[in-house]
Amino acid sequence: MRPEERTRFTGKASMKPLTLAASVVLTIALYAPLARPQADSPGEYQLKAAFLFNFAKFVEWPHNTFPSPTSPFEICILGDDPFGPAIDDVLRGKAIGEHPVVVTRCKDLAETHHCQILFVSSSERKRLPEIFGALKGSNALVIGETDGFAASGGTIQFTLEDAHVRFMINTDAAERAGLQISSKLLVLAKIVREVPGNGKG
């Protein structure tokens, strides 16, 4: 795909400061410990919500991702919602370029076809092969936090290490979805390869 056919959210003049600011946020987030390290800590999911927003600044979607230049940028949650109101508070009033960010809770895969970012809840762990198979051909950035999520076909997997939120990136999944991830994000991640035969479709 030629560069001019991809969706860019900022022009070249403003890309550098935006990318630098987002990089600083991600770097601080990586090295700042959680206020409470428990898996269900509200602080953890406020941080993860901020990660979801900042990930979008380092990813380019195909040109036909949005119906119009001002269509919403949808961050969707499939399954049980671990964020609660934290994600709404963090993302309220935010935009990616000209696209206002909206948060959508989905109970069914059929509701996710407009999502640019899809967070797959841990409640869906038994359905991951089905989910990855159904998302074949989708341009969604698929994110989760269950063990083996990235290696089995997800794009980004959150992990907790010493009370810090880290993340892994499956570059195979990103390429399959037609997503281009900035090297500035890749350098902060652990890169994983897919494990054959995990039913990713």
- Give the pLDDT score at 163: 80
Q: Model's pTM, two decimal places?
A: 0.80
* Cβ–Cβ < 8 Å for 75, 104: yes
Nearest to 83 by CA among 172, 158, 191: 158
The residue that leads in pLDDT, 169 or 11, is: 169
Residue 190: φ, ψ to 5°: -90, 125
Average pLDDT over residues 118-132: 97
Domain residue extents for the chain? 11-192
Nearest to 29 by CA among 55, 59, 9: 55
Q: How confident is the model at residue 64 (pLDDT cuts 50, 70, 90)?
A: confident
CA distance 180 to 59: 6
Q: Which CATH code for domain 11-192?
A: 3.40.50.2300
Q: How confident is the model at residue 198 (pLDDT cuts 50, 70, 90)?
A: low
- Give the pLDDT score at 63: 84
How many CA atoms lie less than 13 Å away from 57 in the CB half-sphere? 21
Name the DSSP letter for residue 40.
T
Beta strands in the chain (DSSP E): 6-7, 59-62, 73-78, 95-96, 99-106, 117-120, 141-144, 156-161, 164-170, 180-181, 190-192
Beta strands in 88-179 (DSSP E): 95-96, 99-106, 117-120, 141-144, 156-161, 164-170
End-to-end CA distance of the chain: 23
How many CA atoms lie less than 13 Å away from 198 in the CB half-sphere? 20
- Give the pLDDT score at 85: 94
